[in-house]
Amino acid sequence: MSTLLEEASDLVAGYLGYTPDPVPSAVARVVATMVVAVLQKPAVNSADYGVNGYNVARESMPIKVGVESATTTGPWLTASLKQRLRPYRSAATRSVFSIRLEDGS
């Protein structure tokens, strides 16, 4: 459990661009949501698929999993979790820049 919390915290800190201290309640809730999603994610095996290849286990879950969660066994950040973290991101991670490409001729 502590490894999952650390992995989720690392992902959030990476997304934010810093480690908040003290940690806001909203950020702690995002980390907790990430860990709960991993714990509630069913193990996928061939018995979970119907004859048409449809994954029936995913449809019965209280937490909906997406493409990211299908390819990982650890915590992941969904688009909605990223939106909840957006107010806490550092200015450096929010900046947009462009790189001018030189013509080789």
Spell out the per-residue pLDDT of the chain, length 105, in tens. Answer: 679 999 999 999 999 999 999 999 999 999 999 999 888 876 655 445 555 555 555 555 544 444 454 556 789 899 999 999 999 998 766 555 556 677 665
Which run of H or of E encompasses 69? helix 67-70
**Peptide bond between residue 22 and the one before it cis (omega within 30 degrees of 0):** yes
Tell me whether residue 45 is in a domain. yes
User: Which of helix, strand or coil describes residue 102?
Assistant: coil
pTM reported for the whole predicted model: 0.63
Tell me whether residue 48 is in a domain. yes
Tell me whether residue 66 is in a domain. yes
Question: What's the structural domain count of the chain?
Answer: 1
Q: How far apart are CA 14 and CA 29, in angstroms?
A: 16
CB atoms under 10 Å from CB of 68, counted, come to: 12
> Residue 9: its pLDDT value, please?
95
Tell me whether residue 36 is in a domain. yes
Q: Which domain holds residue 57?
A: 2-89
